[in-house]
Amino acid sequence: MDVLASPTPRASRVRGACPSLAAGSSSRLRPSFRPFLVKFGSLPPLRSSLKVSSPISSAEEAEKNDAADLANWDLASGTVSLSPLDGRYMQKVKDLRPFFSEYGLIRYRVLVEVKWLQKLSQIPEVVEVPQFSQDARLFLESIIDNFDITDAIEVKKIEKITNHDVKAVEYFLKQKCKSHSEIAKVLEFFHFACTSEDINNLAHALSLKEALSDVVFPVMVDLCKEISTMAKEHAHIPMLSHTHGQPASPTTLGKEMANFAVRLSERGKAFCKIRILGKFAGAVGNYNAHKVAYPDINWKCIAAEFVQSLGVDFNAYVTQIEPHDYIAELFNNIIQFNNILTDFDRDIWSYISLGYFKQITKAGEIGSSTMPHKVNPIDFENSEGNLCLANAILSALSMKLPISRMQRDLTDSTVLRNLGVGLGYSLLAYKSALQGIKKLQVNESRLNEDLDQTWEVLAEPIQTVMRRHAVPEAYEKLKELTRGREVSKQSIREFTESLDLPEEAKAILLNLTPNSYIGEAEELAKSVDEAVDLVNGFKLP
């Protein structure tokens, strides 16, 4: 399972405190992970159930069998999992696991608890926690750096007794550090003056920030880039518009793609204004316990420094919880991005249905189980379906999270465990849309065919030129000629020739075809990069 190959909480990496956190450790962890999977995944052991391994004759073969076991375990767990994100689509969204799994949450909590102890050791007034020696500092860092699945299991075991998930982390750390003589003297300063939410809110803030930056934003940017590329490549290809589903003034295929690229990138730009916030103010947000224990310390300042040292903005006005308004703002922006992508998916679906795009086929793949000729737009349909699920979850979270009775209720705790679910469905949808885009092939002859059959779209420019030259009842005359009637190239030409217009104006109209009546569409599409700025990707502040 790839949670093992996870990137590590980046706060520590970025600030250089725990450089080795970045190292993947999958092979080291795997042996201890399988029992975990068996135990917590309620599946029987692989060797007996799936019979994937042959008798082991060498270490190399054993390793191969291990890999096969794991691959088969993925297949097996994917087949029985309740949620498609952890089952059928696991491969596509697994990069989010290190951030939003139970393992990820525990890991971030460990990071925050350890960093807080280190911070206390740097406050001169907290004489009971002297500056740590180099050895003690390295020991503490190594708890974060080397945190692995066996540690997470240990925390879960402790939680079985405490029935309090954050307290379990504190006990785990005390247990882990009691062997170090220097740290053993200050064990009571783990979680000192903290309420659990001081730890949780920072863990969630870090997981969100890092998962978005490392996993979600790059795929959103890829989407914008692909759609911008389509805009430029198809800038010149005329296409009949369809307002109300009816033939309307032509555009170009590229220009319609440019609209989506710009809309999506505007949402991307909005992320840089959303501040990820954290609190560290104790049980009800007033540093009550802190002030009694150490009256002379400016705890608000210490809390601000601590929160900011993790790469999170400080929120000074809080109850027991950080009020989660920023999560609502963040998710609302993602919901809007997802709505725009839904609009894109549906338009591409419609263009495929009109024959404007063909989809590249792959030998062996089936379109329909009963109609052999078919190539269905399944990637865009998958994307649309998952955007619907994503937005349902993201909006549920954005509506719920800012509401908490008085100084807190615990309803947010279970809800916050689903941060990765809304993002998971989003990520899946983005990847499906990207997959669909890669299969698209423009069918220019089909596009031209529609344009050739709708000369009535020239009614608009003819009546506009007539109005310019004060021809009376221009609109009404064109309406009479075209509305509900068969219109041909011939009838349009004859009508134009009959008009009392200056020769130059008439010549322009006689030269016009549905293909050339595209306004500035080509230029707009070609200059899409001026409006879509993706050089620096999407970023949170």
Ligand X SMILES: O=C(O)C[C@H](Nc1ncnc2c1ncn2[C@@H]1O[C@H](COP(=O)(O)O)[C@@H](O)[C@H]1O)C(=O)O
Contacts of residue 413, Cβ cutoff 8 Å, sequence gap at least 6: 200
Query: Which amino acid is located at 487 in the chain?
Result: V
CA 401 to mean position of chain CA atoms: 19
Closest alpha carbon to 334 in 402, 412, 255, 397: 397
Question: Which residues of this chain interact with ligand X, rule CB under 6 A?
Answer: 163-166, 195-197, 320, 410, 413-414, 417
Closer residue to ligand X (CB): 158 or 235: 158
CB of 413 to ligand X, least distance (A): 3
CB of 409 to ligand X, least distance (A): 9
Closer residue to ligand X (CB): 167 or 236: 167
CA 213 to mean position of chain CA atoms: 9
CB of 205 to ligand X, least distance (A): 15
**Residues designated as active site:** 244, 368
Closer residue to ligand X (CB): 34 or 109: 109
CB of 118 to ligand X, least distance (A): 21
Cβ density class 148-184: b for 16+ within 10 Å, e for less: bbebbbbbbebbeeeeebbebbbbbbeebbeebeebe
Q: Quick one: DSSP state of residue 45?
A: -
Closer residue to ligand X (CB): 282 or 311: 282
Distance CA 34, CA 507 (A): 78
Encode 422-480 in three state secondary structure.
HHHHHHHHHHHHHHHHHCEEECHHHHHHHHHCCHHHHHHHHHHHHHHCCCCCHHHHHHH
Closer residue to ligand X (CB): 98 or 285: 285
Closer residue to ligand X (CB): 151 or 197: 197
Closer residue to ligand X (CB): 145 or 197: 197
Contacts of residue 386, Cβ cutoff 8 Å, sequence gap at least 6: 425, 426, 428, 429, 432
Closer residue to ligand X (CB): 195 or 383: 195
Whole-Å CA distances, 362 to 366, 367, 439? 9, 10, 10
Distance CA 209, CA 192 (A): 26
Q: What percent of the residues of the chain are helix, what percent strand, and what percent coil, each to the nearest 5?
A: 65, 5, 30
Encode 332-380 in three state secondary structure.
HHHHHHHHHHHHHHHHHHHHHHHCCEEECCCCCCCCCCCCCCCCCCHHH
Distance CA 157, CA 151 (A): 10
Distance CA 80, CA 38 (A): 13
Q: Is 125 helix (H, G, I), strand (E, B) or coil?
A: coil
Query: Alpha-carbon torsion 528, 531, 535, 538, what sign?
Result: negative
CB of 320 to ligand X, least distance (A): 6
CB of 91 to ligand X, least distance (A): 28
Phi/psi for 478 (5° steps) reads: -70, -35
Beta-bridge partners for 278: 314
CB of 411 to ligand X, least distance (A): 8
Beta strands 246-252 and 238-243, pairing class? antiparallel
Closer residue to ligand X (CB): 320 or 383: 320
CB of 276 to ligand X, least distance (A): 20
CB of 195 to ligand X, least distance (A): 4
Distance CA 483, CA 472 (A): 18
